[in-house]
Structure 1
Amino acid sequence: MMVDKPDASKHVALQRAPVAEVRTMESADIFRGASEIMIHHDGVIYRMKITRQGKLILNK
C-alpha cells in the first residue's frame, strides 16, 4: 500500500497580525527599595507586595 506524501507547495504560510511590543520594567524601578506599593487602576486600589521568598503578590 502506498501513502502519498503531503505536497509542501500546497502549504500556505499563516499570516500573523503585528504584535505590539510589551514594555518590560525592573521591579526594583517600580518598588524603589520598598517591599509594598499601591496601584490605582480603574478606580480601584491594588496592593502589590514582595514576599520573603521574593515572589510578587497582587491583592485587591
Structure 2
Amino acid sequence: MGVTIYAGNAGDRNERGMRGAVDLGTELARRPGVNPQAVGSPTALVEGGDGSPEHDGMPAAK
C-alpha cells in the first residue's frame, strides 16, 4: 500500500486546502506505517484569472 499526496494548487481558493491535503495524507500514511510520496509543493494562490480550477491549477500541473 502507498499514499500519494498532491500538495500543489489544484484550483483551491484557500491556502489551507493545500496544507490540509499534506496533513491529511501524512496522517493516513502514518496509520499503516508507510512513507507518503509527495507530488507538487504548496504555492501561493494564483491572483486574477477566472477562478476556474483549470486556470488556477495550471502552475502546479506544468
TM range (shorter): under 0.3
* Larger RCO (CA within 8 A; separation ≥ 6): 2
**Bigger share in helix:** 2
After TM superposition, the score normalised by the length of structure 2 is 0.21
**Bigger share in strand:** 1
Structure number with larger C-alpha Rg: 1
